[in-house]
Amino acid sequence: MYSEKLVELPRKGKAIIITDIHGNLTDFKRFIHIWDEFDYEDNHLIFTGDFIHAMGMENDKSIEILEYIKFLYENFPNIHILLGNHEWATISQKPVFKAGINQTFNFDTLLLKKFGENLCREKMEEYIEFFKKLPIAVRTDNKIFISHAGPPTNIKSLDEIKNITDDGFNSDNTQLFQMLWNRQDNISKGDLNSFLDTVDCNMMIVGHTPVDGIKLLYKKLLIVSSSYGKGKKAYVELDLEKDIKRSKDLLKMVKYLK
């Protein structure tokens, strides 16, 4: 199922796709409850990254979510945790800001409060090693490509995705950086079509950009906001057994938190 940094899912069962929790423990628990009702053989749960870093520290439950996510990753092979740009920032030790708030600094402060000076550095190293293990993307047999953001430009083969971290995790690794950071303003229709042709997929699902539930770009890129967004909170219940050749096929599989 795993090939380096790419998870490949067969044409069996369904997959729940959840984006950008950003330290919201209430929403995280709601999605876990949905999964508990949905979990059976051949089904999958996919988190597309950015499960850490809330806007303010008061309600930031990044560490609690991270510990739970780590447990799921290590114990359930049908749960797939992808790397997001906020987890990448922890690996590369790059400050990341939202609305002028240094979330890298806030995360360091949370670690210090939770574990104290003696354990703080040890836990940070543990989390960084965990983040480095995470896959970058999921590709399904019915031709859906799932990642945190992207697509990157100038990808020439699927092997480049599988080995995308071979050049490290710093910002000089352009393909990885674009896979984790590219938003709609950085993506042309031509770039998207070229990428989908290269990875042999019909559609792409990402998070990263806050939207009102969902936004469809160029009829092939579905942007989803599951927790941190601009209104409605959406997720995708992807039927891995159905042919998905156009946007209306995929849009039928979008669900909303009530």
Domains of the chain (ranges; CATH) run 2-256 (3.60.21.10)
Contact 92, 146 (CB under 8 A): no
pLDDT in tens, 183-219: 999 899 999 999 999 999 999 999 999 999 999 999 9
Q: What is the DSSP letter of 150?
A: -
pLDDT of residue 40: 85
Angle at 166 between CA 160 and CA 171, to 5 degrees: 95
pLDDT in tens, 134-171: 999 999 999 999 999 999 998 999 999 999 999 999 99
pLDDT of residue 99: 81
pLDDT in tens, 6-22: 999 999 999 999 999 99
Buried/exposed code over 62-77 (b: 16+ C-beta within 10 A; e: otherwise): bbebbebbbebbeeee
pLDDT of residue 50: 97
Average model confidence (pLDDT) across the chain:
94
The pair of three-digit structure tokens given for residue 117, joined into one six-digit string: 């000076």
Tell me the pLDDT band of 56, cut-offs 50, 70 and 90. Answer: confident
pLDDT of residue 2: 47
The pair of three-digit structure tokens given for residue 168, joined into one six-digit string: 């490290």
Task: State the average pLDDT over residues 243-249.
Answer: 95
Q: Which residue has the higher pLDDT, 38 or 145?
A: 145
State how beta strands 14-18 and 44-47 pair. parallel
The pair of three-digit structure tokens given for residue 227, joined into one six-digit string: 């927790």
Q: What is the DSSP letter of 54?
A: -
Determine if the pTM surpasses 0.85: yes
Contact 16, 44 (CB under 8 A): yes
In this structure, which amino acid lies at residue 158? L
- Establish how many alpha carbons lie within 13 A of residue 141's alpha carbon, considering only the half-sphere containing its beta carbon: 11
